[in-house]
Every structure is written in structure tokens, then in C-alpha cells.
Amino acid sequence: MHAFDVLGDPVRRRILELIADGELSAGEVTATVREEFGISQPAVSQHLKVLRENGFATVRAVGTRRLYAVRPDALQEVDVWLDRFRRFWTPHLDALATEIARGKRERRQR
């Protein structure tokens, strides 16, 4: 499966967001995703499997628990691919940062 097919699903993107700050148990991921998306535990397990099998997540067994974490090298590959397109938005973001700074400066001077 292509990286963008994996990342194109909002549930899988949310799971990656959840595990980005550190390991979470399958139960913790499932509880959050079920609450936010209203999907079943088996459906969450399938999304975790897709992330695992496509290299976006790792799983580590600790007793009966399964702890999931982001596998950063898969995301680095996506970042490398996106690099050729940054030129389209970087100048706009730089301009936005300049305008924000200008607005803050004007508010302080009032």
C-alpha cells in the first residue's frame, strides 16, 4: 500500500497523532478512536494492523498489553517526497509569519 493510501484515512491519521508523543496501549488507542469515530474494536485493530504492516507503527508486547509507537523512518520517507512541493507553501507561510509579527508589534505600540 502506498504511503498516501495509508495516511489518507482519517482514522489512521488520528491513531498516528495519538501515538506520536509516545507509546500507547492498544486499549488506550481503541478507546479514543471508538469514542471519536464510533467504530468497533475490530475495526480499530484493522487500522492498527495497516499501520504496522506498512511501517508507520511498531508494536511491543509487555505481558498481555500491546504498546504502539510511531515508526519515524516511514514518515521521513513521506517528508522527503513532500520536500519538492514545499516551495509552493513556504513563501506563503513566511509571509504569514511576517504579518503576524507586524500585527503583534502594532498592538504593543498602542
Place of cell 498516528: 16
pTM of the shown model? 0.76
Q: What is the pLDDT along the chain (110 residues), one digit of tens a residue?
A: 788 899 999 999 999 999 999 999 999 999 999 999 999 999 999 999 999 999 999 999 999 999 999 998 888 888 888 888 887 877 777 888 888 998 998 899 88
Q: To 10 degrees, what angle do helices 26-37 and 41-53 make?
A: 120
> What are the cell numbers at 107?
498592538
